């Protein structure tokens, strides 16, 4: 007789065997005619641009860091919640327990919130928009002239 | 089930330091940085006073999580005093454009919370949380010189090694929990007492105990787990090196003392040989490698390893007498080390950048911290020379300084246990220590150098003088301190 | 076998496997972590190995905790998770700081400090 974990093990084995079998089956059946288009990376139907291993903006990283911290610290609220609702403790203290436990949780969350406020006030959460630099050319021709030319030969806007 | 709401009110230092750390962070938004240093010092003084409010009583706080008794208060006092001195030597941070003094001070105060938890823990959860608060703060401060590659490297090394040690420490705690079913120190101690009498397999317990000890020895940089120490102490900014080598070491030894005396005293016969071997290794490696250093700062790193060895002697000769001995030694060591680093920072700031290193890469630019920097110092700056000389004498353990009595008390605690061969090694190594500590003194007094008169800020001067006077006073009247315990 | 039986009591489910297996499993995880720390040269991978060590400890603590019907061990796991997150952020910040300065995170390149 298999134990429950034995069944799990059989299940895992079957899954691997099944996937392997399907892939092998497909390999045997399908025609194999690769072209360059077929081998390119699929990028939502667009032409892929650049390297896949590009660097992410470090700003993502700062936000992620702040998120991870606040996210994980909240794990400590789960044990708190089990104690908070215990009927025996509430009955013993005449209802005071709830307020006591709530205050403690509030203190905890407020300290975390102060940390967030600090990061915010320091400007780590600001998402700086890129400032596009307009190219400037050193020429005697005043810019208004260009604008007049552009205005005259403007392409008719499509309705 | 009763819960005492007055509990928290008496745990003042921890709460005060946490709150004042947060307050300092927000004080940092002010344009002027002038307020930060006095505010930090004020907070430290308040915490210092609050620490001794419960003098003479023994309390267990937060449902047997933290213990406060006289010994814990003394260790906390030593730690707070060291921090006070380190912070008061940090005046130049306010002028440094790249520095973030508000954050540094806040992190220092937060890390003190960790240190206090390590000093008074009764539950291994508190030990772990305390160690981590202290260590994580130290990783940040080590790397606080962001553009300096040496500081970066030191931070990464410290972080990787420290996290590794934490892993080992935790595995040890988990095994101890598996063996004894308790995280409480006295619960583990009871198990150790009863299980040794009952016989049977204690493999889980012993493996857990040794992994826990290895993790802690990592943190206090005892050989063979010391290899990160020189690099980290060398790379970190001098101010934070001074903090690391005093506060972290004091807290680490207080924690080791607590866990060995409460939990593992029942199996003393089992661990004392291992600890004695570690002690001898630490003494040999620390002292002999220190001789070959060209950089004063790196010598101080090895010197801190060797002092970890002397403190370990107090642990090997574990008895009632070794508790005040270790506290006294920590105080003596902290005073002299901070004074020495204070002089080093002044000297290094007044030297041109080290050309050999400077030429390599601009990010490597660093001040000159070699022995040669001290050449002829005492002629133009008799005060700095004297401060440095006294702290070197104290570190070497010359009579009439606090260091001598520290060594004396630790050694006599071990002698009571009959570990004579250990003492022979220790005394020999102290003699080696005299050689490298005196190199600085000789450089200051007997070598020619082109040192100018160094301008010392009045408060900086007062702190240096106070450290020297305390070192001498404790050396002349050690009973002053002994009477306290 | 009713599906409900499984979900009723998690400690009982955990106890269906002998304690020694948990011990061996977490020790194996822990040793893999140690080997990773000692042999790898990429700071991020070393870092992941350290996390593996911590998770080995968590597994062990939970196993002991449910075998002893004592919730303290699980509370410790919560602390380890929370503290490890704080440690991770600091560690990653250090790694990013180094990457900005020298454009690599190979620990072998960091050899400016030698005795």
Residue A4 sits at the chain C interface (C-beta within 8 Å): yes
**Percent of chain A whose pLDDT exceeds 90:** 17
Residues of B in CB contact (< 8 Å) with A are 1, 3, 5, 18, 22, 25-26, 29
Between vectors from CA B387 to CA B382 and to CA B393, what angle results, nearest 5°? 120
At residue B54, the pLDDT reads 77
Residues 6+ apart with CB under 8 A from B63: none
Q: Is A92 on the interface with B (CB under 8 A)?
A: yes
| pTM of the predicted protein model | 0.87
- B195-249 pLDDT, tens per residue? 887 777 788 999 999 999 999 999 999 988 998 999 999 889 999 999 999 999 9
Q: Which residues of C touch A56 (CB under 8 A)?
A: none
What pLDDT score was predicted for residue B367?
57
Q: What is d(CA B91, CA B290) in angstroms, rounded to the nearest whole number?
A: 30
Q: Does A75 touch chain C (CB under 8 A)?
A: yes
Q: What is the mean pLDDT of residues B167-196?
A: 92
Task: Please check the confidence at residue A118 and state whether its pLDDT lies above 80.
Answer: yes
Smallest CA–CA distance from A2 into chain C, residue: C1
Using an 8 Å Cβ cutoff, are B112 and B83 in contact?
yes
Q: Which residues of chain B have a CB within 8 Å of the CB of A92? A: 1
DSSP letter, residue B148: -
Q: Which residue of C has its CA nearest to B157?
A: C107
> What mean pLDDT value characterizes chain B?
88
Q: Report pLDDT digits (tens) over B239-298.
A: 999 999 999 999 999 999 999 999 998 888 889 899 999 999 999 999 999 999 888 999
- Tokens standing for residue B353: 């950048």
- As a whole number, mean pLDDT of residues B422-446 equals 92
The ranges assigned to domains in chain C are: 3-102
Å between B101 CA and nearest CA of chain A: 14
The verdict on C92 touching B (C-beta cutoff 8 Å) is no
- Helix, strand, or coil (residue B123): strand
**Given a contact as 3+ CB pairs under 8 Å, which chains touch C?**
A, B
Residue B10 pLDDT greater than 70, yes or no: no
List the single residue in C1, C86, C96 with the smallest CB-CB distance to A69.
C86
- Nearest beta carbon to residue A121 from set B3, B18, B29: B29
Measured CA to CA, the distance from residue B219 to residue B161 in angstroms comes to 9
B70 vs B401: CA distance, rounded Å: 25
Nearest residue of B to residue A110, measured between CA atoms = B22
CB of B373 closer than 8 Å to CB of B347: yes
pLDDT category at A5 given cuts 50, 70, 90 is confident
Contact: C1, A4; criterion CB under 8 Å: yes
What number is the average pLDDT over the span A33-43?
79
Q: What is the pLDDT of residue B318?
A: 87
The three-point CA angle B460-B461-B462 to 5° equals: 90
Both tokens of residue B255?
Answer: 């924690």
When pLDDT is averaged across residues C66-88 and rounded to a whole number, the result is 91
Say whether residue C87 is in contact with chain B using an 8 A CB cutoff: yes
Q: What is the pLDDT, as a whole number, of residue B484? A: 66
Mean pLDDT of A116-145: 79
Residue of A126 and A113 predicted with greater confidence: A113
Encoding tokens for residue B30? 């002010």
Smallest Cα distance from C75 to chain B, Å: 9
Share of chain B above pLDDT 70, in %: 93
B179 CB-contact burial (10 Å; exposed 0-12 / middle 13-18 / buried 19+): buried
CATH class of C3-102: mainly alpha
Q: Which of C78, C79, C89 sits opposite A65 (nearest CB)?
A: C89
> pLDDT tens digit string along B335-346?
999 999 999 998
**Chain C contact for A79, CB < 8 A?**
yes
Residue B78: what pLDDT? 94
Distances (CA, A) of A78 to A55, A72, B3, B183, B352: 36, 11, 21, 21, 57
Indicate the DSSP class of residue B401: S
How far apart CA C92 and CA A63 sit, in angstroms, is 13
Q: Are B323 and B314 in contact (CB under 8 A)?
A: no
Instruction: Enumerate the residues of chain A whose CB falls inside 8 A of the CB of residue B132.
Output: none
Could you tell me the two tokens for B424?
A: 């022979």
Average pLDDT over residues A81-89: 85
Q: Is the pLDDT of residue B42 over 60?
A: yes
Q: Do B160 and C57 touch (CB under 8 A)?
A: no
Backbone angles phi, psi at B60, to 5 degrees: -115, 125
Per residue in B297-320, pLDDT tens? 999 999 999 999 999 999 998 888
pLDDT at A103 > cutoff 60: yes
Longest dimension (CA), chain A: 94
Contact C16 A68 (CB under 8 A): no
Q: Sort out which chain A residues have CB atoms less than 8 A from B26's CB and list them.
A: 114, 118
Are residues C115 and B171, on separate chains, in Cβ contact within 8 Å?
A: no
Segment B124-171, tens digit of pLDDT: 999 999 999 999 999 999 999 888 888 888 999 999 999 999 999 999
Burial class (CB in 10 A: 0-12, 13-18, 19+), A79: middle
Asked if residue B232 lies in contact with residue B158, where contact means CB atoms within 8 angstroms, the answer is: yes
Tell which residue, B219, B217, B210, B123, has the closest CA to residue B175: B210
CB contact C112 to B (< 8 Å): yes
B173 contacts B183 by C-beta, under 8 angstroms: yes
> What's residue C13's pLDDT?
78
The per-residue pLDDT for range B268-285, each reduced to its tens digit, is 888 989 999 999 999 999
pLDDT at C6 over 50: no
Report whether pLDDT(B357) > 60: no
Q: Chain B closest CA to C42's CA: distance in Å?
A: 11
For residue B352, pLDDT over 70 is answered with: no
Cβ contact, residue pair A75, C82, below 8 Å: yes
Q: 3-state DSSP call for residue B89?
A: coil
pLDDT at B483: 65
pLDDT of residue B148: 83
- Looking at the complex, does the CB of residue C17 fall below 8 Å from at least one CB of chain A? yes
Whether the per-residue pLDDT at A82 is higher than 90: the answer is no
Token pair for B171: 């595995």
Comparing A52-56, B186-190, B385-389, the range with the smallest average pLDDT is: A52-56
Mean pLDDT of B445-468: 87
Distance (Å, whole) CA B224 – CA C67: 36
Q: What share of chain A is helix, strand, coil (3-state, %, to 5)?
A: 60, 0, 35
Q: Is the pLDDT of residue B359 over 60?
A: no
CA count, 13 A, side-chain hemisphere, B52? 13
User: Would an 8 Å CB–CB cutoff place C7 in contact with chain A?
Assistant: no
pLDDT(A79) > 50 = yes
Domain boundaries, chain B: 5-482
Chains touching B (3+ CB pairs < 8 Å): A, C
């Amino acid at each position: 007789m298999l134990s429950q974990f034995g069944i799990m093990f059989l299940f895992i084995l079957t899954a691997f065997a099944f996937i392997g079998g399907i892939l092998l089956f497909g390999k045997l059946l399908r025609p194999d005619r690769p072209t360059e288009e077929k081998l390119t990376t699929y990028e939502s139907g667009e032409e892929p641009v650049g390297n896949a291993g590009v660097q992410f903006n470090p700003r993502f990283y700062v936000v992620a860091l702040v998120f991870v911290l606040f996210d994980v610290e909240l794990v400590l609220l789960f044990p708190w919640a089990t104690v908070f609702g215990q009927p025996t403790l509430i009955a013993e203290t005449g209802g005071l327990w709830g307020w006591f436990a709530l205050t403690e949780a509030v203190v905890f969350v407020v300290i975390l919130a102060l940390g967030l406020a600090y990061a915010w006030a320091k400007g780590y959460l600001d998402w700086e928009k890129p400032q596009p630099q307009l190219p400037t050319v050193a020429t005697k021709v005043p810019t208004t002239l260009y604008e007049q030319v552009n205005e005259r030969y403007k392409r008719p806007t499509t309705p | 089930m009763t819960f005492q709401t007055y509990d928290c009110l008496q745990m003042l230092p921890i709460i005060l330091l946490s709150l004042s750390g947060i307050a300092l962070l927000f004080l940092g938004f002010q344009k002027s940085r002038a307020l930060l240093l006095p505010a930090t010092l004020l907070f430290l003084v308040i915490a210092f006073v609050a620490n001794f409010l419960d003098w003479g009583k023994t309390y267990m706080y937060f449902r047997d999580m933290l213990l406060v008794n006289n010994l814990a208060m003394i260790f906390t006092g030593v730690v707070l005093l060291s921090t006070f001195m380190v912070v008061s030597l940090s005046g130049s941070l306010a002028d440094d454009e790249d520095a973030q003094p508000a954050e540094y001070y806040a992190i220092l105060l937060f890390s003190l919370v960790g240190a206090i938890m390590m000093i008074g823990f009764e539950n291994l959860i508190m030990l772990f949380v305390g160690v981590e608060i202290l260590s994580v703060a130290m990783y940040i401060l080590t790397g606080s010189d962001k553009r300096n590659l040496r500081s970066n490297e030191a931070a990464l090394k410290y972080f990787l090694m420290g996290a590794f040690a934490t892993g080992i420490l935790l595995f040890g705690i988990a095994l101890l929990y598996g063996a004894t079913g308790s995280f409480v120190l006295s619960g583990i101690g009871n198990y150790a007492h009863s299980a040794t009498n009952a016989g049977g397999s204690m493999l889980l317990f012993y493996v857990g105990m040794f992994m826990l000890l290895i993790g802690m020895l990592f943190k206090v940089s005892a050989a063979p787990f010391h290899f990160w120490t020189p690099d980290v102490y060398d790379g970190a900014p001098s101010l934070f090196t001074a903090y690391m080598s005093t506060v972290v070491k004091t807290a680490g030894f207080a924690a080791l003392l607590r866990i060995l005396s409460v939990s593992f005293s029942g199996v003393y016969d089992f661990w004392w040989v291992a600890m004695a071997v570690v002690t001898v290794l630490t003494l040999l490696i620390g002292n002999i490698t220190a001789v070959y250093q060209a950089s004063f700062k790196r010598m101080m790193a090895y010197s801190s390893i060797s002092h970890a060895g002397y403190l370990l002697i107090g642990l090997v000769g574990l008895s009632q007498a070794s508790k005040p001995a270790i506290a006294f030694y920590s105080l003596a060591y902290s005073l002299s080390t901070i004074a020495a680093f204070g002089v080093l920072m002044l000297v290094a700031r007044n030297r041109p950048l080290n050309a050999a290193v400077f030429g390599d890469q601009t990010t490597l630019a660093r001040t000159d911290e070699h022995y040669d920097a001290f050449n002829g110092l005492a002629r133009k700056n008799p005060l700095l020379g004297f401060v440095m000389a006294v702290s070197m004498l104290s570190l070497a353990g010359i009579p009439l300084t606090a260091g001598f009595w520290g060594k004396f008390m630790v050694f006599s605690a071990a002698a009571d246990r009959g570990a004579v061969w250990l003492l022979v090694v220790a005394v020999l190594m102290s003699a080696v220590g005299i050689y490298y500590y005196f190199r600085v003194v000789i450089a200051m007094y007997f070598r020619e150098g082109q040192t100018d008169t160094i301008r010392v800020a009045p408060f900086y001067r007062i702190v240096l003088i106070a450290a020297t006077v305390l070192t001498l006073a404790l050396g002349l009247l050690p009973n002053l301190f002994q009477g306290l315990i | 076998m009713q599906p409900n039986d499984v979900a009723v009591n998690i400690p009982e489910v955990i106890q269906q496997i002998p304690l020694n297996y948990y011990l061996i499993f977490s020790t194996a995880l822990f040793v893999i972590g140690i080997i990773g720390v000692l042999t790898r040269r990429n700071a991020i991978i070393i870092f992941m190995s350290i996390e593996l060590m911590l998770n080995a400890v968590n597994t062990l603590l939970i196993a002991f905790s449910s075998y002893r019907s004592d919730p303290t061990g699980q509370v410790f796991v919560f602390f380890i998770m929370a503290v490890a997150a704080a440690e991770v952020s600091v560690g990653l910040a250090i790694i990013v700081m180094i990457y900005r300065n020298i454009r690599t995170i190979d620990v072998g390149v960091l050899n400016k400090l030698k005795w």
